[in-house]
Structure 1
Amino acid sequence: MTTSALPLDEATFENPFVEELRGEVSGNKGSRQVPGYHYSRVTPTPVRDPQLLAWSEELGDYLGLAEPVARGAATAILAGNILLPSMKPFAARYGGHQFGNWAGQLGDGRAISLGQVVATDGTRQEIQLKGAGPTPYSRRADGRAVLRSSVREFLCSEAMHHLGVPTTRALSLVETGDQVVRDMFYDGNARPEPGAIVARVAPTFVRFGSFQILAAQGEIDNLRALADYVIHHHYPELGAPSPEVYVRWFAEIARRTAVMVAHWMTMGFVHGVLNTDNMSILGLTIDYGPYGWLEPYDPDWTPNTTDFGGRRYAFGQQPRIGMWNLMALAQALGPLVADPQALRAGLDIYAETFADTEHALWLRKLGLTAHDPASDRALTEALPAVLAEAGVDMTVFFRQLSHLPPALLAADAQQENLFNELLAQAAYSTAPGADLALREWLHRYALRLQQESAQPEAVRESMLGANPKYVLRNYLAQLAIEAAETGDLTKLDTLFEVLKTPFAEHPAHEELAAKRPEWAQDKPGSATLSCSS
């Protein structure tokens, strides 16, 4: 902990979103339409017995905040039971397309922002409580969150950060002491579960849908005001807002979104519910719900039971959906520019940036430097199909491959044995011939590796720094959740610590790097999830 860290109850909050944009100040938490506003002022609903379960020390240090005691004033703030005089809490209004259909007004139905704090690097970071009670946008829901979904959001937000993926962060996990009734799979089996609140952190939580609702309702002045606010505070390098700047701004949003999705695709991450209201205007991974990590590599896999019918948000669809969502945002921003067709350049930038970033990330995972562009692209573009055909575990495959360059370059005669061992460790499928295409690809890769000028050990170290040994597999999260629900935080704490250094070996925790076990293949929460939380 930094020596200058302040207790949260002594922190000063800033409130530019509230002070610079148009808000409803009635304080009425009743669910309703809120036309004409960017947000509603609303206070969190107190909980019975807040207790701190987990704290991100690294993020706390970055924010200059000291770790709270399990029960105390700071923890009460993180639960929404205490507000500081400098806070002006609010719930944001936004809309969105959900599974491709316009859903109208959505908004922060259970998330309440407390305001911003100034981090140690001088940037301003918004702290938002997820699960803090009803707001005008709760749509007949209770505004609460359960422990299982809160554990998943806390762990994955920080895990993704340490993997180098653009993401929102999570500061704390607080158990509320209240029970929350949820139907986990929407099958009529509702039951009470422990409630929890996550304090999540980002420069802003403005989404694509924040602009869509304003355009859909014809609130052009509000649309322009929100665009100007975001550019001024989060894209100041673009200059003063103008129709020309709006075009450049959209192109930069598209570029950042492409970089984010390329990271997902080369890490095997499946967001699970890429509605336009779940797309950050900063190109950050946001709203960790029914996400998952590829175990058998399968482009058609989705962890979200709600998406089983159409698989709109399956792993392999994510680049296309990123483009679709950007098109929806472009449509919303159209009234701000002289020629809406000018925004199409941003969509081209998305496609180009995604292709270039994904290729660069694949090369890094393979320990290769740019050589022959056409040949290198042919090598990386062939990889997803052969991984899918072989049904390998993506994380295990690349981690084990990372160890091979010295041996591959030292003895050609041993290549087949090395590949046999690699596939025995990484493959789920035992179907005869399933790995033939992948074996052929591995031989091509070994030949390409010989063209690298770096020493084999240097290539190995580079690959080990690009291919994590540990990711937040759903079954690991579920084991931590089940233990936490009984009051045992050991699994949660261990998993959190290991995921902070996912590229390290951690020999004492090899079990956390294992492929998905047989028992987890169909277990609720360990393989698939719903949007229920």
Structure 2
Amino acid sequence: MRAEPQPAPYRPDPRLLALADWLTDRVESADFPMHELRFRNRRWDGAVGLADLSDEQWIGHFGKFEPLPENLPQPLAQRYHGHQFRVYNPEIGDGRGFTFAQLRDAPGRLLDLGTKGSGLTPYSRTADGRLTLKGAVREILATEMLEALGVYTSKTFSVIETGEALERGDEPSPTRSAVLVRLSHSHIRIGTFQRLAALGESDHMRALAEYCLETYPGPPPPEDAPGRDEPAARLMHQAVERLADLAASYMVAGFVHGVLNSDNMNVTGESFDYGPWRWLPQWDPAFTAAYFDHGGLYAFGRQPEAIHWNLGQLAIALRTICEPEPLVAAFNRFGDCYSAAMARRFCWRLGVTGADRDCAVALIGAAERTMREGKLGPDAFFFAHRGGRGASGELAQALAPFQPVPGDHPYWDGAGPQAMLIDEVEAIWAAIAERDDWQPLYDKVAALRRMGDALGEPPAPAGHGN
């Protein structure tokens, strides 16, 4: 069984204000013509002390963006650069979102409430700063599915429909508008460090590294790591561990993020910012999510490589405050960290335990061949063989050293697994677009949370000390 988030009192802690003058711009939210509450995350609102807000108060804070008590007095749009499909872009930043508040959960983690679709900022360029309602619905589905599958992800906290007609090239237009609020463990990106390096702001780079180490603590580097006491090296080791774990969690989930640019890589290792995502219909390393990813740079099977490449950009940025050797040593740990995370996460989802990493590597190889030969997607495979059941041939042999995890949740006796393939996503949206029927969405969220309960507590995110 999976533990629910612990309830907590409201504990504001707007630490970002200490960096705001050189890391952010103060902005205002858009003035929307309508505020219709469509989704409120009752699983997580109590975890940050906001469960007692009435719907009217909720709309006031997360639709009209009235400041929360003793929190950020004004929204902050963050500044950053980034490689987008490996082309460096210094003209980006929060273009349709901002950090609205920071607050602590029960274990003491500092969490951000950040927006998507909240209006124009200095970084909007030629865009309108808005979010389509369909995009908000897709983000609910992505985050709920990923959370159920044990991926360390941002949470869709609130969606409010805002009554504007938007023109988009990739949706039938005009289309409905929304503003989304996500609950996230930081919005400090690899691209945040890249910007400071590009501008030669070494003092600010050191301050940001110290902020991350203090605010998002993790374990120390290995004892034999060169320069292990250097703040930049410590941060690099933590980022490598966290993002290697993220890469593995995507692969075990069968998830394709679609846009793994360095400005979409959070140094806390938390997945966020969902656009053209997809889940695999069957095991295919070449499967892509974004129609504009013509070369398959961010195809399913290339995601670990893409994340590792982005970590290289973090190391390059941190060289402005650290010698190369400690950063290279941390960067080179990615392969081992990724292999360990794959073994840990794959066995967790399959419901087996008790064998060493070599056995896990053999099991993963046998499972991939089983999926390819049977034209299976990960959802069908893991459901059919949970706890080692129904395995034969090479897969049964690979499972022999393992023990099944006890599990009597009724989910495993159902007709089939929960999945998130594009046809179902489109059907959920069609019910909203054509009939304003939100029940299929709410039913799907409930079903995904039942699946998460059946899977049980996921492996702890790597590289975290809290």
- TM-score bracket, shorter-length normalisation: 0.7 to 0.9
Q: 1:360 to 1:66 in 2, by over 3 A?
A: closer
Residues 185-234 of structure 1 show CA distances to partners (whole Å, capped at 9, x for unaligned) of 7xxxx721110011101131111100011111222222222212211211
Whole-angstrom distance in 2 between the partners of 1:196 and 1:484: 13
Q: Return the TM-score normalized by structure 1.
A: 0.76
Determine helix, strand or coil for the equivalent of 1:304: coil
5+ long unaligned stretches in structure 2:
222-226, 455-466
Q: Is the 8 A contact 1:402 1:463 kept in 2?
A: no
Equivalent position to 2:380, from 385, 396, 400: 396
Determine helix, strand or coil for the equivalent of 1:142: coil
Instruction: Kindly report which structure 2 residues correspond to 1:216-227, keeping only aligned pairs within 5 A, or say none.
Output: 216-227=198-209
Q: Residue 57 of structure 1 aligns to which amino acid in structure 2?
A: R
For residue 373 of structure 1, report the CA deviation from its aligned partner.
5.1
Q: Residue 362 of structure 1 aligns to which amino acid in structure 2?
A: F
Instruction: Indicate whether 1:356 and 2:340 are aligned.
Output: yes
Structure number with greater Rg is 1
Whole-angstrom distance in 1 between the partners of 2:229 and 2:348: 38
Whole-angstrom distance in 2 between the partners of 1:242 and 1:450: 40
Q: Return the TM-score normalized by structure 2.
A: 0.86
Residue 139 of structure 1 corresponds to which residue in structure 2?
125
Instruction: Indicate whether 1:212 and 2:194 are aligned.
Output: yes
Whole-angstrom distance in 1 between the partners of 2:228 and 2:356: 42
Q: Is the 8 A contact 1:182 1:191 kept in 2?
A: yes
Q: Is the 8 A contact 1:177 1:194 kept in 2?
A: yes
Instruction: Indicate whether 1:484 and 2:432 are aligned.
Output: yes
Residue 183 of structure 1 corresponds to which residue in structure 2?
169
Residue 19 of structure 2 corresponds to which residue in structure 1?
21
Whole-angstrom distance in 2 between the partners of 1:499 and 1:4: 21
For residue 243 of structure 1, report the CA deviation from its aligned partner.
6.5
**Could you say which structure has the greater relative contact order, defined with CA pairs below 8 angstroms and 6 or more residues apart?**
2
Instruction: Indicate whether 1:150 and 2:99 are aligned.
Output: no
For residue 314 of structure 1, report the CA deviation from its aligned partner.
0.4
Residue identity (%): 30
Residue 384 of structure 1 corresponds to which residue in structure 2?
368
Q: Is the 8 A contact 1:80 1:132 kept in 2?
A: no
Q: 1:79 to 1:366 in 2, by over 3 A?
A: closer
Q: Which moved more, 1:230-239 or 1:326-335?
A: 230-239
Residues 215-268 of structure 1 show CA distances to partners (whole Å, capped at 9, x for unaligned) of 1122222222221221121127659x9971321221111001011111111110
Equivalent position to 1:275, from 234, 253, 261: 261
5+ long unaligned stretches in structure 1:
24-36, 409-418, 420-441, 506-533
Q: Is the 8 A contact 1:464 1:503 kept in 2?
A: no
Instruction: Kindly report which structure 2 residues correspond to 1:419-434, keeping only aligned pairs within 5 A, or say none.
Output: none
Determine helix, strand or coil for the equivalent of 1:500: helix
Instruction: Indicate whether 1:44 and 2:44 are aligned.
Output: no
Whole-angstrom distance in 1 between the partners of 2:6 and 2:378: 41
Instruction: Indicate whether 1:231 and 2:229 are aligned.
Output: no
Residues 305-363 of structure 1 show CA distances to partners (whole Å, capped at 9, x for unaligned) of 010x10000000001111101001110111111x2122112122211010121123333
Q: 1:97 to 1:120 in 2, by over 3 A?
A: same
Q: Residue 483 of structure 1 aligns to which amino acid in structure 2?
A: A
Instruction: Indicate whether 1:76 and 2:24 are aligned.
Output: no
Q: 1:322 to 1:404 in 2, by over 3 A?
A: closer
Residues 271-295 of structure 1 show CA distances to partners (whole Å, capped at 9, x for unaligned) of 1110000001100111111111111
